[in-house]
Structure 1
C-alpha cells in the first residue's frame, strides 16, 4: 500500500477557509497527489480528502462510508437543523428519505414547473418599475414564494421578505465550516424563527385548524408515521419540512450564475430560445461549472483501499465535490463552460454531484435535485425568452476562495421590459 501524502500542519481549517473551493486542488498539485491526500482540520482531526468519480462511488457506498455524526455541529445547528435527515443513517434515514421522495410525483413536479413559470412572469411588472434588480436578492424572494407555495406552507406576503432573509442567512452559514464564525449567532436565531413558524403550522395542521392540500409537504409531513407507527416530533417535523424547500431557495446562487453564464456566453441565450432541450443542458452545466457545495464529510465504516492506499476504519473522509466536477478525468475540458457535454450524458450518479451523489432513496443525494433542475430550466427560459434587460458595469467576479460561491455583485440588471413581438 502507498503512503498517503500529507498537507502538514496541526490544523489547516484556516487555510481551507482562505483557499475555499481551490484548497483541495492546490494541495493535490503542491503535493503531487492523485485524487487523495491527508490533512488536519476542524480541531486538528485527521482527514483524508478524496476526489473523482471512483471517490464518489466509494463515498456513497453505504457499506463502506458512514455519514451520520460527521457534519460539524455548528453547521448542523445553522444549515440543516438538529436531528435533520442529513444527520441520520440506516433504517431511520431510508424511512424518512422515502417520505421526501414520496413528494416527487409527476404531478407535484409539474406543479412546481408551473409555479416557477407563473411567479417569474407575474413578477415582471414589478421589475419593470425598478431602477436596478439584484438577481441574487430578487431570486431568493421569488424562490421563497415558489418553495413555500409548493410545500403547502402558509406564508403571508408581508412575511416573505423576512423569511427569505432568514433562509439566506442559514444557507450562508456554510462559510463557517463548523467554526465559531462571526455570523453564527445570527444564523442560529434565523433558524429558530423559521422553525418556530413551521412548527406552529405542523401543530395547527394536526389539530385540524389549517388544511394544507393532500400531497403537499406540510400535509404529508404532519400526518406521517415512522416504521414503528409513531408521528414525528413536531419540532423535528418542522426541521425536515424546511428541508423540503430550503434547497430550492439556495438555487438563487445558481440563478445568478446562470445569468452570468448567459451574459458571458450570449450564444447560450439564443440556444435556450430555439432548442427545447438546451435549457436542461445549460442548467446542468451551470450546476457543474460554478461553485456551490465545496466538499462533504464522512467516515470509513471499515478498512478501505482506494487508489492503492489504505484508509483505516473510523478515519474521517471528505469528498471533494467541486474538484470532482472539475476533474479532467471526469469531464473533458472541465474549465470550459460547455452545456452540450450533457447532450449524451449517461446520467451517472457519481460525476455530476453538486447536491450529493449515489441513489436518491437510500443515500444522501438531495431529494430536491429534480426540483432544482425544473426551477433552473423555467427560470433560465424566463430570462432568455420573456424579458429583455441591460447589464450595467459591475463586479462579475466569482471568488473561488470564498465559501459559499457568489457573483460578487449578485448580478445586477436594469431596464427590464416584457419581450413582446408587436409586429
Structure 2
C-alpha cells in the first residue's frame, strides 16, 4: 500500500484560499503526486485531495462516498440554504432530486430557450441607452428576469434589481470560504429576504391566492409530497424553490467569461454565426476553460483504496474540479481555448464537471446543467449575432488565485447597437 504524500502544515486553509484554483495543481506538482495528496485544513482537519477522471468516478460512487453534512456551514447558510437538497443523501435526496428532475421536460426546456432569447433581445434598447454596459451586472439582472419567470415566481419589475443584487450577494459569499468574510452578514440578510419573499408565494399558492401554471417550479414545489405523503415545510420549500433558479442567475459568471472569449478569440464569433452547432461547443468550452467551482467536499463512507492508497472511513475528501478539467490526461491541450474539442465528445459524466459530476437522477450532479447550457447557447448567439459593441481598454484579468473566478473589470462594453443588415 502506497503512502499518500502530504502538504505539510498544521492548517493549510489560508494557503489553499490564497492559491485559489491553482492550489491542487501546485501541490500535485510540488509533491510529484499525480492524483492524490493529503493536507490539513479547516481547523487542522485531515483532508485528502483527489484529481482526475478516475477520481471523479470514485467521488461519485455512492457505495464509497458520503456527501451529507460536508458542505461548509457558511456556504450552506448563504448559498444553498439550511436543509437544501444539496445537504441531503440517500432516499431523501433521491426523492427530492426527482422533484427537481421532473421540471426538466422538453416543454420546460424549450420555453427556457425562448425566454432567454426574447429577454436579451427585448433588453437591447436598454443596453443601447447605456454609456457603458457591465456584462457581469447586466447578466445577473437579465438572468433574474429569466429565472424567476421560468420558475413561475411573481417578481415585480421594480423589484428585479433588488432581487438580483441579493442573489449576487449569496453567490459571491463563496469567496469568504475559510476566512473572516466581512460580507457574511449581508449575504445572510440577502438570503433571508429572498426566502421570505418565496415562502410568501408558497403560502399564497397553497391557499389559491395566486395561480402559477402547472409544471412550473412554484406550482410543483408548493403541491409536492414526500415518499410518506407529507408536504414540504414551507420554509424548506422556499429554499429548494430558490435552488431551481439561483443556479441560473449564477450563470452570469459564465456569460461574462463567454463575452470575454468572444473578444479574445474573435474567430469564434464568426463560427457561432455560421455553424448551428458551434454555440453548444463554445458554451461547453467556456464552462470547462474558465474558473467556477474549485473543488467539492465529501467524506469516505467506508475504508477503500484509490490507486493503491488506503483512504480511511470518515476522512474528508475534496475532488479537484477545476484541475481535473485542465489535465492533459483528461482533455488534449487543456490550457488552450478550443471549442471544437466538444464536437465528438462522448458526454462522460466524469470529465466535464464544472457543476459536479455523476448521474443526474441519483447523484449530486447539478439538475440545472442542461438549463445552463441552453441559457449559454442563446446568450452567446445574442452577443455574437444580434448586437455589435466596442470593448474599451480595461482590466480583463482572470486571476486564478482569487475565489470565486471572475473577470477583474466585470467585462465592460460600449456603443451597443442592434446588428441589422440594412443593405
What is the TM-score with the length of structure 1 in the denominator?
A: 0.99
Q: Structure 1 residue 93: deviation in Å?
A: 0.0
Contact (CA 8 Å) 1:289, 1:337: kept in 2 or not?
yes
The aligned runs of 1:66-215 (5 Å cut-off) are 66-215=66-215
1:389 alignment partner in structure 2? 389
Q: Is 1:377 matched with 2:381?
A: no
Aligned residue pair count = 423
Q: Structure 1 residue 178: deviation in Å?
A: 4.6
Contact (CA 8 Å) 2:14, 2:179: kept in 1 or not?
no
The SS at the match of 1:37 is strand
The SS at the match of 2:317 is strand
Could you tell me how far apart the structure 1 residues matched to 2:183 and 2:60 are? 31
Q: Structure 1 residue 57: deviation in Å?
A: 0.2
Could you tell me how far apart the structure 1 residues matched to 2:369 and 2:102 are? 14
The aligned runs of 1:20-419 (5 Å cut-off) are 20-419=20-419
Contact (CA 8 Å) 1:74, 1:179: kept in 2 or not?
no
Deviations 1:341-375 (A, max 9, x none): 00010000000000000000000000000000000
Deviations 1:38-78 (A, max 9, x none): 01111111000001000000000111100001111111001
Could you tell me how far apart the structure 2 residues matched to 1:107 and 1:178 are? 41
Could you tell me how far apart the structure 2 residues matched to 1:391 and 1:112 are? 29
Could you tell me how far apart the structure 2 residues matched to 1:91 and 1:252 are? 33
Q: Structure 1 residue 179: deviation in Å?
A: 3.9
Q: Which segments of 5 or more consecutive residues in structure 2 lack a partner in the other structure?
A: none
Contact (CA 8 Å) 1:42, 1:179: kept in 2 or not?
no
| Misfit runs of 4+, over 2 Å | none
Could you tell me how far apart the structure 1 residues matched to 2:222 and 2:375 are? 25
Deviations 1:76-125 (A, max 9, x none): 00110000000000000000000000000000000000000000000000
Contact (CA 8 Å) 1:128, 1:415: kept in 2 or not?
yes
Q: Structure 1 residue 399: deviation in Å?
A: 0.5
Q: Structure 1 residue 256: deviation in Å?
A: 0.6
Deviations 1:369-416 (A, max 9, x none): 000000000000000000000000000000000010000000000001
Contact (CA 8 Å) 1:13, 1:42: kept in 2 or not?
yes
Contact (CA 8 Å) 2:14, 2:178: kept in 1 or not?
no
Could you tell me how far apart the structure 1 residues matched to 2:113 and 2:230 are? 33
